[in-house]
């Protein structure tokens, strides 16, 4: 099987490559992404995979459209999550999707798995949630028999944002700030489990439709941070800050950093009180969920990829 992964040099893409190379070493994998540092890491770790550093919002002067020829499936992964540039969400979540869908249709690619997000069910109304909703609508209109997966917050190897960034923060500084009480419910999803779901979708062409892929363990944010602290053997003092003060500090940070790992919009989403539906995805896709404590151990202690850091 020949599979193209637009946006495949991120958290899900690199973990998916590790999964597929283990179970399907004969599959040909093609990644198109514009994150230079992540592509370099991918080429070093997975030399059998083709990594192309190009812009998915364009076809002129790009080689990636021609590389689609002969592909059996596409796993659409490209997404903007936390930029402070409003235009980045439109380019990376909407324009790139329109361009990729048009090329997939032109080349007659028979199978599409789209990685959407649980935020399409969120009460939040920020740029990420609004553009992810539009992106999903584009996919469903253009490709009625596509598989659309809506994962919750993911963590695992190669995570340069989310828990991966928080883990490095904990290891470097003596104090770790928590917004408010920290009792917001989280439903974290281990990316290894999610990649096995994608693998099942590629193996079984009968799958189609939309699936909410929610972590099976409900945990408060403060409890998750304590478990993360244990997993990385860090000892920072956990400091609770009023949410308005936390938000002001994030806004100040955004003025200093061109690529903040956590934005004010993401703080609003964290504290919005979302709880997402849980379907029986373990039975549907024949994937046994990894217990949270074990998943954290693998992500931050397993020697295979625990020390691989993708620059932010």
DSSP 232-258: TT--PEEEEE-HHHHHHHHHHHHHH-S
Find, among 273, 274, 291, the residue nearest to 282 by Cα: 291
Q: Considering its fold, how many domains does the chain have in total?
A: 1
DSSP state of 286: T
Chain segment 268-298, per-residue pLDDT in tens: 655 555 677 889 999 999 999 999 999 999 9
Mean pLDDT of 56-62: 95
Q: Give me the percent of the chain exceeding a pLDDT of 70.
A: 91
Q: How confident is the prediction for the chain on average, in pLDDT?
A: 90
Tell me if 80 is assigned to some domain. yes
**Can you give the pLDDT at residue 28?**
98
Q: Which neighbouring-strand residues pair with 237?
A: 175
Tell me if 222 is assigned to some domain. no
Tell me if 77 is assigned to some domain. yes
**Can you give the pLDDT at residue 257?**
64
Residue 267 pLDDT greater than 60, yes or no: no
Contact 151, 194 (CB under 8 A): yes
Please name the residues in contact with 196: beta carbons below 8 A apart, sequence gap of 6 or more. Answer: 19, 285, 287
**Can you give the pLDDT at residue 272?**
58
Tell me if 257 is assigned to some domain. no
**Can you give the pLDDT at residue 120?**
86
Find, among 239, 284, 294, 266, the residue nearest to 124 by Cα: 266
Tell me if 230 is assigned to some domain. no
Q: What pLDDT band is residue 81 in, cutting at 50, 70 and 90?
A: confident
Residue 199 pLDDT greater than 90, yes or no: yes
* Phi and psi at residue 277, to the nearest 5°: -65, 150
The two tokens of residue 34 are 């514009």
CATH of the domain at 27: 3.40.50.720
Q: Domain range holding 126?
A: 2-158+189-215+274-289
pTM (two decimals):
0.90
Tell me if 183 is assigned to some domain. no
Contact 43, 8 (CB under 8 A): no
Tell me if 253 is assigned to some domain. no
Chain segment 217-265, per-residue pLDDT in tens: 999 989 999 999 999 999 999 998 887 876 776 677 666 666 666 665 6
Chain segment 84-141, per-residue pLDDT in tens: 788 889 999 999 999 999 999 999 999 999 999 988 887 777 888 899 999 999 999 9
Mean pLDDT of 65-79: 95
Q: What b/e readout covers 35-50, taking b as 16+ CB neighbours within 10 angstroms?
A: beebbebbeebbeebe
Tell me if 240 is assigned to some domain. no
Mean pLDDT of 20-35: 96
Residue 118 C-beta-side C-alpha neighbours within 13 Å: 20
């Amino acid at each position: 099987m020949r599979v193209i992964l637009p946006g495949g040099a991120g958290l899900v893409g690199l973990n998916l490559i590790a999964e597929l190379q283990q179970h399907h070493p004969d599959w040909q994998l093609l990644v198109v992404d514009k994150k230079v540092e992540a592509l370099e890491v991918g080429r070093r770790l997975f030399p059998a995979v083709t990594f192309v550093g190009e812009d998915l919002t364009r076809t002129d002067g790009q080689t990636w459209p021609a590389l689609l020829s002969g592909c059996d499936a596409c796993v659409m992964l490209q997404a903007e999550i936390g930029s402070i540039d409003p235009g980045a969400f439109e380019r990376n979540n909407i324009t790139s999707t329109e361009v990729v869908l048009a090329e997939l249709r032109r080349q007659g690619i028979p199978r599409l798995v789209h990685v959407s997000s649980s935020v399409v069910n969120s009460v939040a109304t920020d740029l990420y949630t609004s553009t992810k909703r539009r992106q999903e609508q584009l996919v469903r209109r253009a490709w009625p028999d596509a598989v659309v997966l809506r994962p919750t917050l993911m963590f695992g190897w190669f995570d340069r944002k989310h828990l991966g960034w928080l883990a490095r923060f904990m290891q470097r500084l003596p104090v770790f700030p928590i917004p408010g009480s920290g009792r917001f419910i989280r439903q974290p999803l281990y990316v290894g489990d999610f990649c096995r779901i994608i693998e099942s979708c590629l193996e079984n062409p009968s799958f189609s439709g939309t699936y909410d892929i929610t972590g099976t363990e409900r945990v408060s944010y403060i409890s998750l941070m304590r478990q993360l602290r244990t997993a990385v053997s860090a000892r920072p003092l956990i400091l609770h800050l009023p949410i308005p003060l936390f938000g002001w500090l994030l806004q100040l940070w955004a003025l200093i950093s061109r690529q903040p790992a956590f934005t004010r919009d993401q703080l609003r989403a964290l504290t919005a009180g979302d709880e997402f539906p849980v379907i029986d995805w373990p039975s549907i896709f024949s994937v046994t969920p990894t217990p949270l404590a074990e998943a954290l151990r693998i992500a931050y202690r397993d020697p295979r990829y625990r020390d691989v850091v993708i620059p932010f």
